[in-house]
Structure 1
């Protein structure tokens, strides 16, 4: 379902500092007991920037500070991130603390404060330990290459079990343009743009308004098409910085390589989204739902996300139970245009429902298929040409255990 452009190549040893002019750092400043908890991403020059944020009406102080910073001139040169504390629901003091993080970083880099974005993730409702941040931020030393990127990606994690990184390169105007990303997210994941943070760097030359349009379009098809537990966080954001150092002709929707660039950006966001879904708290498998034949692409994505977000579908996947009825039920309550007598369902490559009626299949074969670490469910609603994908994970005993004791 993804357009293939041969010029887009995945980079091995990918990292957030792969694009020209980016550096990164991460360290332990004491917010968490042992693990790294403070991260910094820096561009050599002010970069055109764009952001997409949580739709939760309760929004953390860092989001507000970052939105206000971007509103000044739609540029960003650095992003400071802490984990272990979300700085959410912390009142006026939380806002002041987020601004202090911004100003400390600006002082470190000798840049204007509005060029610094701020992100936080972790426990909600607790004030930031500013003494530790005031100690840690001046000690950050961003570097190019893999070391700084690894430190950055590890420093933004909370309940994640692995860091999440990806990068691609593509030829535009005879120049090599690189797009890289890193993200965190494991639980409280149901973005409309969880706790989910995504950071993307690119050396492409592109104006901020077009960058925002491209980001919004790919977020809807990637980060907004994943779900772990149906909860939308107070801190979700995806930020992208484009510093133009690849020196391609400025990208616009009329540029002959515009679609190639957007597809490259989609590859990065889709990779990160799938990594988040696969790393869902307590998860044992990634679930991909493909919907075809919907009224339009938007309805297809909504049906797919409803299916992958169904607790009953998720628990059936965990139990390796080929319970197609749960899939059909989720399609039915998605609120989208369907005719039950037209629906087809496949688990893996095995048809289990056609024209709304069950088909004979081997329970043993499907049980074995559902034991795999990645499973695919396909739904054809036969109402139009709409196509959509969504990703999630199974719901396990460990998810309950992790979240029952999150603050302790």
Structure 2
């Protein structure tokens, strides 16, 4: 028996003549796991969904774009509750059996008359595609982001569909985005919780566009239970392979987000290795990723290693500058406390014109490692965000 998430894309009046919402119908007996923003001013939909997922069997997900319904006070919270009740009546379920998500401009109230009318008039035939759904959740994204893929574990064919959105306000935890994934396998509550934590820690929590944490970030994994061949609670090897495959898919989604970062012209991978601890490597990696001076240098195709070293020093982490080596695009530019005179600067500068830039920082003080992906900082980013609400 085929058990899959069914989709209905619609326009609820937030955007003009564009799809701006998607409803997802969840198969019976599916397992769900969700992680959300840690922003203390989380949007009303996040607050409601975190409550609903605790003690209810979730039957539907509803996502709107163009309006974040964040920092909208009690009116915004009541609005979210109101359209949840309208949806539940239309879909013949309880409002507590819905998870709701919003993304877009912060601080504006939802156009409730349009939303309620659209829900009332929609037939919810659930015949939309994942690609259509990916377009309906876009905000400042230049292109829609979706992946459908099949892979095999122990002879079992696993089908995966995933969509996400995100281009600005990208920083853990999580990276500004909404993401939804369907797997056709059976997972226990324990297994899917372990899976989503591992995946997020190694993908969405390792990217940055601008260092700002959103009020609405959410990621949901849905395991429909269509195939039950493998018990992932018992088969440790298979579960490890599952984590590896899903993490890689989410890392590919992350790369799409960074590539589509507002005004992005570069994808920058920062690899801090041989640190005393992972937390030390992580702190240095994100310090570099969120440095405006480093990011603007990358935009200008300038291998300004001095900005990288200065940012490492500003973290106040106890590292020996004489042990650090810095490679940019595999060219050794810094070692033994100074510029490496053997570096061919002309070749290095030419490599800076590449779309992807690689910074490798070897601290030579331990065995821990942390990687982060980020974008550069361009004129277009400033233009986009200086005019966003208008």
TM-score normalized with structure 1 length: 0.89
Please name the residue that 1:8 is paired with: none
> Does 2:363 correspond to 1:381?
yes
Change in Cα spacing, 1:104 to 1:203, as seen in structure 2 (3 Å) is farther
For 2:222, which of 227, 235, 241 is the aligned residue? 241
Question: Counterpart in 2 of 1:167?
Answer: 148
CA spacing shift, 1:379–1:23, aligned 2, 3 Å: same
Shift of 1:43: 2.3
The answer to whether structure 1 residue 257 and structure 2 residue 251 are counterparts is no
Shift of 1:20: 4.8
Q: Distance in 2 between matches of 1:269 and 1:76?
A: 23
Check whether the contact 1:25–1:140 (CA below 8 A) recurs between aligned residues: no
How many angstroms apart in 1 are the aligned matches of 2:265 and 2:26?
A: 37
1:292 and 2:273 aligned: yes
Alignment partner, residue 117 of structure 1: 99
Aligned pairs for 1:390-405 within 5 A:
390-405=372-387
Partner of 2:17: 34
Once the two structures are superposed, the pairs formed by residues 25-64 of structure 1 within 5 Å of their partners are 25-64=8-47
Q: Hey, what's the Cα distance between the residues in 2 that align with 1:231 and 1:142?
A: 38
TM-aligned CA deviation for residue 140 of structure 1: 6.1
> What secondary structure, in the 3-state scheme, does the structure 2 residue paired with 1:76 have?
coil
Q: Is the 8 A contact 2:130 2:161 kept in 1?
A: no
Give distance in 2, aligned partners of 1:218 and 1:299: 21
Aligned to 1:126, the other structure's residue is in SS state coil
Contact 1:167 1:268 (8 Å CA) reproduced: no
CA positional deviation for 1:46 = 4.2
Deviations 1:111-138 (A, max 9, x none): 3333321100111111111122223335
Cross-structure match for 1:7: none
Find 1:72's aligned residue among 40, 43, 55. 55
Contact 2:10 2:19 in 1 (8 A): yes
Aligned-residue CA RMSD in angstroms? 2.0
Distance change in 2, residues 1:269/1:403 (3 Å): same
For structure 1, the 5+ residue unaligned runs are 1-18
Q: Is the 8 A contact 1:179 1:268 kept in 2?
A: no
Distance change >3 Å, CA 29–CA 341, structure 1 → 2: same
Aligned to 1:92: 74
For the 8 Å contact 1:39–1:82, the answer to whether it is kept is yes
Moved more, 123-132 or 57-66: 123-132
**Mapped pair 1:126 → 2:108:** yes
Q: Which residue of 1 aligns with 2:307?
A: 326
Structure 2 residue 344 is matched with structure 1 residue 367: no
- Offset of residue 50 of structure 1: 1.2
8 Å CA contact retained: 1:21, 1:45:
no
Which shifted more, 25-34 or 314-323? 25-34
Query: Normalized against structure 2, the TM-score is what?
Result: 0.93
**Structure-2 separation of matches of 1:64 and 1:390:** 28
Q: SS of 2:232's equivalent? A: coil
CA contact (8 A) 1:187 1:194 kept: no
- Specify the alignment match of 1:191 in structure 2: 172
| Residue 22 (structure 1) aligns with | 5
Aligned match of 1:11 = none
Listed as ranges, the gaps of 5+ residues in structure 2 are none
Select which of 118, 130, 137 maps to 2:119: 137
State the 1:97 CA deviation: 1.8
Q: State the distance in 2 between where 1:218 and 1:63 align.
A: 20
CA contact (8 A) 2:185 2:225 kept: yes
Report the Cα distance in structure 1 between the residues aligned to 2:215 and 2:221, rounded to whole angstroms.
19
Note the C-alpha offset of 1:143.
4.2
